[in-house]
C-alpha cells in the first residue's frame, strides 16, 4: 500500500492506494488520519509514502488534480475498494452515482436504497466512507438543506458543494 499527499484548494489531500485502487482518502496531511478511516482489520501492515507519480497512486492523484481543474467526473472512473455489509456496499456504490451539483438529502438517499425510513443508517454509510471524494459522501445533506457532518470538516464539504454547483 502506498500513500501520497497532494495540495488542493481545500488543503492537503492524502490518499491510500494499491495498483491504482483507492482504499482511503481525505483532506489531511496526516497519514494516520487516513488509515484510521479503515476498520482495524483492513489497515495495511506496511505503508510507503510516495510521490504522486508513483504508479500505485498516479491515476488517482491525476484524477484529483483533474477534479480541482474542473473535470468533476474525473474521480468517477477511479476504482475503489471498501468492505462492509451488503447495505453499506450498495450505499457506497449509490453515492458514486450522485450527480455533481445535485446533492441528495439523507432521506432521499435512504429512499434510493429502498428503505426511506432508514435515514440514520443512510447517514452511517456516509460516515463510514473511507475513500472520500472518490465516493462522494459530501453530496448528501440534511433534509433542511443544511450540511450535516463531514469527516474532513464542514468547510471542506461546503467548498466541494460550491465548486460542484458552480460547474455542474
User: Quick one: CA torsion of 31, 32, 37, 38, rounded to 10 degrees?
Assistant: 100
The catalytic residue among 16, 61, 64, 137 is: 137
Q: Is 137 a catalytic residue?
A: yes
Q: Has residue 147 got a pLDDT over 90?
A: no
145 vs 125, which has greater pLDDT?
125
Instruction: Please check the confidence at residue 168 and state whether its pLDDT lies above 80.
Output: no
Decide whether 2-77 matches 86-167 in CATH topology.
no
Do the beta carbons of residue 148 and residue 106 sit within 8 Å? yes
CATH classification for the domain delimited by 86-167, as one of 2.60.40.10, 3.30.70.1230, 3.40.50.150, 1.10.10.10: 1.10.10.10
| 82: helix, strand or coil | coil
Is residue 15 within 8 Å of residue 141, measured between CB atoms? no
Q: What is the pLDDT of residue 158?
A: 95
Task: Kindly list the domain boundaries of the chain, sorted by start residue.
Answer: 2-77, 86-167
CATH number corresponding to 2-77: 3.30.160
Instruction: List pLDDT tens digits, range 148-166.
Output: 889 999 999 999 999 999 9
Dump pLDDT digits (tens) for 27-37: 999 999 999 99
Residues 38-89: tens digit of each pLDDT: 999 999 999 999 999 999 999 999 999 999 999 999 999 999 999 999 989 9
pTM score = 0.94
Amino acid at each position: 500500500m502506498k500513500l501520497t499527499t497532494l495540495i488542493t484548494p481545500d488543503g492537503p489531500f492524502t490518499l491510500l492506494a494499491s495498483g491504482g485502487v483507492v482504499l482511503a482518502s481525505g483532506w489531511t496531511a496526516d497519514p494516520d488520519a487516513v488509515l484510521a478511516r479503515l476498520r482495524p482489520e483492513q489497515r495495511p501492515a506496511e505503508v510507503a509514502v510516495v510521490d504522486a507519480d508513483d504508479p500505485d497512486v498516479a491515476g488517482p492523484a491525476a484524477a484529483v488534480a483533474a477534479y480541482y481543474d474542473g473535470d468533476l467526473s474525473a474521480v468517477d472512473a477511479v476504482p475503489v475498494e471498501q468492505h462492509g455489509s451488503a447495505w453499506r456496499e450498495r450505499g457506497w456504490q449509490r453515492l458514486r452515482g450522485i450527480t455533481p451539483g445535485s446533492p441528495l438529502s439523507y432521506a432521499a438517499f435512504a429512499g434510493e436504497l429502498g428503505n426511506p425510513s432508514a435515514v440514520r443508517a443512510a447517514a452511517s454509510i456516509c460516515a463510514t466512507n473511507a475513500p472520500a471524494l472518490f465516493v462522494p459522501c459530501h453530496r448528501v445533506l440534511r433534509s433542511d438543506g443544511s450540511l450535516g457532518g463531514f469527516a474532513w470538516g464542514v468547510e471542506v464539504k461546503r467548498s466541494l458543494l460550491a465548486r460542484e454547483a458552480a460547474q455542474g
